[in-house]
Every structure is written in C-alpha cells, then in structure tokens.
C-alpha cells in the first residue's frame, strides 16, 4: 500500500510541477497584466479591480480551473501598488496564493515612461490523494493522504508605456523556490518563466480602434508559447477579439482564441472561448473564460501630467505643490526672459542716443 501511495503521490506531484511550468494561463492577459508583470501596477489612469474565472478543457474530469482577483493604483505620482489573489485547481492539486506588487516609474521622454516592478508572492500548494479512485477504495491510509507545502517566491518586471503602445518583460517565480511535501520532505521546484508582452493602439476614426497585442512566454523544459491577438473596439464600448495560441511544440497552433465584451460606465464585462487544436479537443468543449472589471474613478490627469513634468490637481481640484525640478526650471526660464528684455531695452536706448 505504501508503494501505491508513493506512486500516487509522485503522480500528483507531477501535476504540481506542470502547474509551476505554466504560469496561470489566460486569454485575457491584457485585462490583468499585473499578475505576471508587477511593473504594470499603478500605470492605469484609474484604479482597476478585475475578477476573472477560467474553465480550461471543459468536459474533461480534473481539468484546470483558475480564478484571479487584482487591484492596483498609483501612489505618490511615481509609484504603484497592487494586490493579486489567485486560486488554481488541476485534478488533485490546488494552489492558492497572493502577491503584493510595487512599481517605480521614470520619465524616459515626453509622453513615455519606464516602470520597474517587484512582487513578493506566497503560495499554498495542496495535494489531495483522497480524491483519487484506486483499486483499494475506502482505504484509511489513502483517505488521510493529503499534503501541503508553503512556498515563497517573487516576480520582477520592466514596463515601457505611452498612450499609444506598451511593451514589457517579466520573470515570474524568479527565485525558483522549492516545495517540500510530507514528513519525507519530497521536493519539487518552481520554474522560472520569461514573459514578453506588448500592445499597440491604432485609432482608425472617431468610432473604430484597432488594438493588436502579443504575449510570449517560456519556461525551462516546456515548449515556448504565445498568444497573438487583434482586438477591434467600437465607440470605446464594445470589443471583439480574434487570435491564436502558438507553440514551439510539434503542434505549432495550439488553439483559436475568440473574445467579446462590453463596457458600460466604469464596468467592463468580457467572455472568451478557446478552441484547442490538440488531441484535447476530442473530449472537451473548449475553454471558457469570463472577466469583470470595475474602474474606481481616480485622478485621470495624474500620469499624463507626471510625464510632462507639470503639477497635478487632486480630485477636489486643489493645486498640488510642484516638484523642485519644475520650480527651478521655471526660475531659469524667467531669468532668461528678463535678460532678453533687458538686452532689447539697452539696444533701443542705444539707437535713440545715436539719433
């Protein structure tokens, strides 16, 4: 029985390892980029609160199910804070976690900023062997065979953004922490990921906007994977998205991605469907995802005016004290202006004397 238990435990552990090799797959990564790149925290002009649910490979027993809640906002004009809560279930393996993101922004040039981000994270990994069916049903040893492991790690990232485009690079699970299960301390290790993402916004006219985007990801001992999407937006209220999930494996196109959504005031509701081209589609109706976002009204001028170096106004409309550099710049400009006026006056006085 112990041998059987060890084999089952090893199989469950392989599921946990597979989870670690695939960082929370989602078709709506553009709605919750802070999950994998902490540098995004605080770069929105409002405070977005986003909840998503994904049911992968619907119809297959033990298929992955993922829920993510994120919130982030700007702090002190040049920083950002964000919180992510995550729950992921795949067969007998479950992971629940949280990460706290902090970002710091620098002005690159007029209208462009560079953000650096770090996010400490904590995860509870749980293996439930009792949920498995074996020939030795109702065995008390198997029923009690559940193990947990607490893991600490961190995500790090860079993010460059303007009003028209953004590009970012991040490394989730940077520390490659180990997980220890059971009294025998059977171990598994988190895998470091490398994610490159970006989007571009092209306004066709007053009603239509086109927004292509891409997310490319790679983890050690796993095929590289990427989502290539094109979103069409109508009157800033409705959107439709089509794209493909590509892979470096023997099956170059993993899935077809389709999405649609609507925005009403501060709310955005979206639905996504993935149709897999792999053998998984034979027993599955596809993957379904829903996302709900609410934008808490904030200081919509803050980021734009930070980029230009101007003072900003609070929600009450009161003037916020300008930075030292801005004041010094104004003093120099005034000094140059006065010198110019003084020279012109001397020149005129000289001409009058000659006459």
Q: How far is CA 92 from CA 179, 249, 334, in A?
A: 16, 26, 70
CATH no. for residue 222? Answer: 2.40.160.40
Residue 330 lies in a domain: no
How many structural domains comprise the chain?
1
Examine residue 296 and state whether it is found in any structural domain, yes or no: yes
Tokens of residue 213, six digits: 């985007």
Q: Has residue 339 been placed in a domain?
A: no
Band of the pLDDT at 146, cuts 50, 70, 90?
confident
> Average pLDDT in the 156-168 region?
96
Please tell me the least confidently modeled range out of 40-44, 105-109, 136-140, 260-264: 136-140
**The model's pTM:** 0.75
**pLDDT level of residue 109 (50, 70, 90 thresholds):** very high
Read off the pLDDT of each residue in 43-47 and give the average, rounded to a whole number: 91
Q: What is the pLDDT of residues 4-17, one digit of tens each?
A: 444 444 444 444 44
Bridge partners (DSSP) listed for residue 28: none
Q: 354 in a domain, yes or no?
A: no
Q: Model confidence at 127, in pLDDT bands (50, 70, 90)? A: confident
Say if 319 falls within a structural domain.
no
Mean pLDDT of 265-280: 88
Range of the domain at 109: 2-308
| C-alpha triplet 25, 27, 31: angle, nearest 5° | 105
Is the pLDDT higher at 165 or at 135? 165
Q: Does 1 score more than 80 pLDDT?
A: no
Q: Classify residue 222: in a domain, yes or no.
A: yes
Residue 39, judged by CB atoms within 10 A of its CB (0-12, 13-18, 19+), counts as: buried
Is the per-residue pLDDT at 323 higher than 70?
no
Q: Which residue has the higher pLDDT, 175 or 253?
A: 175
* Domain annotation covers residue 352: no
- Does residue 318 belong to any structural domain of this protein? no
Q: Which tokens hold the place of 53? A: 């649910």
Q: Is the pLDDT of residue 307 over 60?
A: no
Distances (CA, A) of 188 to 1, 14, 19, 181, 315: 23, 9, 11, 8, 49
């Amino acid at each position: 029985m112990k041998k059987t238990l060890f084999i089952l435990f090893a199989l469950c552990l392989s599921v946990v390892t597979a989870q670690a090799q695939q960082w929370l797959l989602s078709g709506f990564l553009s709605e919750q980029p802070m999950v994998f790149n902490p540098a995004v925290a605080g770069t929105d002009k409002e405070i977005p609160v986003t909840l998503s649910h994904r049911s992968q490979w619907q119809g297959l027993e033990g298929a992955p199910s993922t829920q993510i809640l994120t919130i982030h906002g700007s702090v002190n004009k040049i920083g950002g804070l964000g919180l992510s809560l995550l729950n992921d279930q795949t067969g007998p393996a479950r992971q629940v976690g949280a990460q706290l993101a902090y970002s710091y922004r620098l002005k690159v040039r007029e209208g462009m900023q560079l953000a650096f981000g770090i996010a400490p994270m904590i995860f509870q990994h749980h293996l439930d062997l009792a949920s498995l069916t074996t020939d030795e049903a109702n065995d008390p040893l198997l029923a009690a065979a559940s193990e947990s492991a607490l893991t600490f790690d961190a995500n790090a990232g860079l993010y460059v953004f303007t009003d028209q485009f953004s590009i970012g690079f991040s490394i989730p699970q940077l520390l490659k922490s180990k997980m220890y299960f059971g009294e025998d301390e059977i171990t598994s290790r988190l895998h470091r990921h490398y994610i490159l993402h970006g989007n571009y916004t092209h306004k066709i006219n007053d009603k239509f906007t086109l927004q292509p985007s891409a997310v490319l990801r790679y983890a050690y001992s796993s095929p590289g994977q990427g989502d290539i999407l094109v979103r069409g937006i109508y009157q800033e209220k409705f959107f439709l998205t089509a794209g493909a999930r590509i892979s470096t494996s023997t099956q170059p196109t993993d899935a077809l991605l389709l999405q649609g959504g609507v925005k009403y005031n501060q709310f955005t509701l979206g639905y996504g469907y993935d149709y897999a081209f792999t053998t998984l589609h034979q027993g599955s109706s596809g993957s379904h995802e829903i996302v709900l976002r609410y934008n808490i009204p904030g200081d919509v001028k803050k980021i734009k005016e930070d980029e230009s170096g101007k003072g900003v106004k609070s929600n009450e409309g009161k003037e916020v004290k300008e930075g030292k550099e801005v004041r010094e710049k104004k003093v120099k400009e005034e000094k140059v202006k006065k010198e110019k006026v003084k020279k012109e006056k001397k020149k005129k006085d000289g001409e009058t004397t000659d006459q």
